[in-house]
Amino acid sequence: MKSAQSNPMIQSAVTDLWDCHRMCEEMIAECLRRGGEHAGPDRIRMLTDCADICQLTADFLVRNSEVASKMCGICAEMCIRCAEMFERTGDDQFAQKCRKCADSCRQMATSMAG
pLDDT surpasses 80 at 72? yes
Q: How far apart are CA 114 and CA 108, in angstroms?
A: 12
Q: Are 101 and 16 in contact (CB under 8 A)?
A: yes
Q: pLDDT tens digit string along 30-57?
A: 999 999 988 999 999 999 999 999 999 9
Give the list of residues 6+ apart from residue 36 with CB closer than 8 angstroms, or none: none
Whether the Cβ atoms of residue 6 and residue 64 lie closer than 8 Å to each other: no
pTM: 0.91
pLDDT cut 90: percent of the chain above it: 82
Alpha-carbon gap, residue 82 to 1, rounded angstroms: 30
Query: Which run of H or of E encompasses 71?
Result: helix 68-88
